[in-house]
């Protein structure tokens, strides 16, 4: 996924980080609705094979974002939980904003997923401000 201009060069590392955020967030979501998060839960949620999930979980584990034993469920470390929380907030704010300006829920949900990793803090702040302003107004 290339980026234009001298302002920003996207590396594989960035890419891997996005994936990490996606998975950590997904794990967080799952752990809110059920006691454990298993490979099969993630493969269902992410729409990929269990093999892909397994490999990615190995990386997350190496990066100390999750704890996981072979054949066991996974849990978030403090670090992982923090990342999940940040990611979740960002995601939620984006979704709220899209809904607020009138995007149909289905599209808003999909777009929020995709845009999540590409929205700067500056833009998020503006979105938050717009939401607050308009909620005060009524």
Partner DNA sequence: ACCGACATGTAGCATGGGCTACATTTTAGA
Partner DNA sequence: TCTAAAATGTAGCCCATGCTACATGTCGGT
Q: Which of residues 16-35 bind DNA (CB under 7 A)?
A: 16, 18-19
Among positions 27, 30, 66, 68, the unique one binding DNA when judged by CB under 7 A: 68
The per-residue DSSP string of 19-72 comes to: HHHHHHHHHHHHHHHSS-B-HHHHHHHHTS-HHHHHHHHHHHHHTTSEEE-TTS
Per CB under 8 A, 135 contacts its own copies: no
Per CB under 8 A, 93 contacts its own copies: no
Short-list 121, 113, 67, CA closest to 91? 113
Question: CB 65 → its own copies: shortest distance, Å?
Answer: 15
Q: Which of residues 72-101 bind DNA (CB under 7 A)?
A: 72-73
Per CB under 7 A, 40 contacts DNA: yes
Nearer of residues 46 and 81 to its own copies, judged by Cβ: 46
Angle in degrees, 0-180, between the axes of helices 78-101 and 12-33, rounded to the nearest 10: 90
């Amino acid at each position: 996924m290339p980026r234009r201009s001298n302002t920003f060069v996207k590396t594989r590392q960035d890419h891997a980080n996005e994936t990490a955020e996606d998975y950590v967030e997904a794990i967080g979501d799952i752990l809110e609705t059920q006691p454990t998060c298993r490979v099969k839960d993630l493969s269902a949620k992410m729409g990929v094979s269990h093999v892909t999930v397994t490999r990615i979980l190995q990386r997350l584990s190496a990066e100390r974002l999750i704890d996981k034993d072979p054949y066991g469920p996974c849990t978030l470390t403090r670090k992982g939980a923090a990342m999940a929380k940040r990611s979740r907030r960002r995601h939620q704010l984006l979704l709220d904003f899209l809904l607020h300006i009138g995007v149909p829920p289905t599209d808003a949900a999909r777009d929020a997923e995709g845009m999540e990793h590409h929205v700067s803090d500056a833009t998020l702040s503006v979105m938050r401000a717009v939401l607050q302003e308009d909620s005060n107004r009524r």
